[in-house]
Structure 1
């Protein structure tokens, strides 16, 4: 009998550092573009059609001394291959829902739990996308709302709070923001910088230097940090936590080329890094909106690090010569863009809407919002 594993359970095992061996049976180009990775994750790619064309040859490429986790795009092919392997004496399970489910798997982990306020990080593990839910005195703030709207309303119900403010740091290119939808459902206010060019209904964030939720314990200072986009913002919470959007990552900086103005926006990024960010203390904790690998998770499962540590290992943040910085950033931008990023931008801008199935299709794949990535230690 062939068993399956949920994406939640698979993530739990990866996060805890368990050895995982994945047999990915998607086409080779799909595997090369986006696959499951982690600290102790190994994977090989033997496409499903290889099993169909020559089962013996395909099976011979699979190690028999491993506990195998078989995955495909949605589930059907991996269930078939797992059954083939099971009949041949291999130990194999298949992943429920495949990579489509992996891309929609969320993990909630506390960053701050104090009597007067709480800050949670929401990790969309298959996409490397991060969102935040913070609350105090019965009122909540959502930052970078991801696709699972129900997750935020369920968190509000769980903690007995009302969502009052919903913030996007910029116009996202790698995932569809549900800020407007969540605002309509909860009656909260959705905020975005006007210079991002959105056609949806929002409250201009540039009007505010500070937002409060509940009381002063959750004071969100709006910090203009252009570079990834011209209207990129960061949110400084309690003078301690920098929710940095796509401006600063644990392992890199936001790429400035997704709007077709790489050099111009790199100028802004320089001003942000050596102006706004340089003024922040080394002990400020950076909480970004994306991450590139499991190496960026700390021992509590949170994607975070001090600004001092990030500065120390990211050489470009020491490159004070303006022109050298700009040239380095522009030259380091990868030719690989976030999948379907023009359509995702258009949806977030309010040009058109799509149903859930089409949204899943457009969001499938990794985020690629970082430039000059430096590995986390």
Structure 2
């Protein structure tokens, strides 16, 4: 292969293009089943599936679909096959061809920090967008102190932000026991000698020490107060956090365009009532002006112009279908029957987050591969 025939681009640089809503053309060279299950999405992204094995003899099967006036990006599972396909396309005369380094595995792990807003007592709140999986986590910092909520297992982006801001990490919190991704909360807390909090009703089977956080508890981060609001339904212990009386971190209870699913611990029929009470009573009592910051998003259409995922609570009560099902039986049917497939390896992920098993790093990566499936469609 000629070194100059095609170029490579990191997932970090490519993610910025997606978040900036650039016009992008992608060839995904994975098998069709994998492509249909999970792919790169963006507001101005066009992606076609062209399996690697179909292109071994050349790009004739897709040449007519390739644009001559824009850059072409190629992605595969891990970054190897995409280089071969990119080379084939470049040799056919296309000049701006890129292979995305690390493939969909690297795409799944990238976290993009975005400043959500300022806090009343100084400092800011940042949202870490895991664009390849739809996970959202948060860093709150004020007066030299910080807290991280719903940490992903990739800790480097949080470490970089902590160092950049020059703050001390005092607290790490999870909104619930996650089932779709492995929490890095305990590990991050250990590194920084920070206090780790977990809702006790989700901790019945955990085998590690933690600090329980209950309804009404308050944590002071510098000049900013984080107040716990018990909000069960996705799990029995799900707890939301009201930050600075401005932001509502809803975990996996309420999303921008959907609501949480109650079935990932096999308790859909038991927890659906809790879910309705949280959404239709507990949250309903809160100020409409609170900015909702969920732990996940479903599709790219929920992304704001700056790449963040957020909305006012009052707007969600007007626009989110899951908050406007007046008949209780219809609500129960919606959230127990209208569900996407359960997340890949969700039971193994739950046991990892309980501390019962400790998979090797590569196994953890494989467990998390795939889309976010924490919401009711």
* Alignment TM-score, normalising by the size of structure 2: 0.94
1-structure distance, mates of 2:106, 2:137: 18
- Structure 2, unaligned stretches of length 5 or more? none
1:60 Cα deviation (Å)?
A: 3.9
2-structure distance, mates of 1:354, 1:187: 23
User: Which of 100, 125, 130 is residue 95 of structure 1 equivalent to?
Assistant: 100
Mapped contact 1:74–1:99 kept (Cα < 8 A): yes
Mapped contact 1:180–1:200 kept (Cα < 8 A): no
Paired residue for 2:87?
83
Paired residue for 1:343?
348
2-structure distance, mates of 1:157, 1:8: 19
1-structure distance, mates of 2:325, 2:30: 42
2-structure distance, mates of 1:29, 1:341: 20
Mapped contact 1:274–1:320 kept (Cα < 8 A): no
| Equivalent residues in 2 for 1:151-190, closer than 5 Å | 151-190=157-196
Q: Say whether 1:14 aligns with 2:18.
A: yes
User: Which of 212, 216, 222 is residue 204 of structure 1 equivalent to?
Assistant: 212
2-structure distance, mates of 1:370, 1:305: 17
Deviations 1:131-160 (A, max 9, x none): 100011111111001122222222222212
Size of the aligned set, in residue pairs, is 368
Paired residue for 2:199?
193
- Structure 1, unaligned stretches of length 5 or more? 373-377
SS in 1 for 2:34: helix
2-structure distance, mates of 1:229, 1:211: 22
Mapped contact 1:46–1:61 kept (Cα < 8 A): no
1:250 Cα deviation (Å)?
A: 0.8
1:320 Cα deviation (Å)?
A: 3.0
Paired residue for 2:311?
305
1:56 Cα deviation (Å)?
A: 5.2
1:316 Cα deviation (Å)?
A: 2.9
SS in 2 for 1:172: coil
SS in 2 for 1:55: coil
| Equivalent residues in 2 for 1:18-97, closer than 5 Å | 18-52=22-56, 54-55=57-58, 57-60=60-63, 62-65=65-68, 66-91=70-95, 92-97=97-102
2-structure distance, mates of 1:103, 1:332: 26
| Equivalent residues in 2 for 1:327-342, closer than 5 Å | 327-334=333-340, 336-342=341-347
Paired residue for 1:375?
none
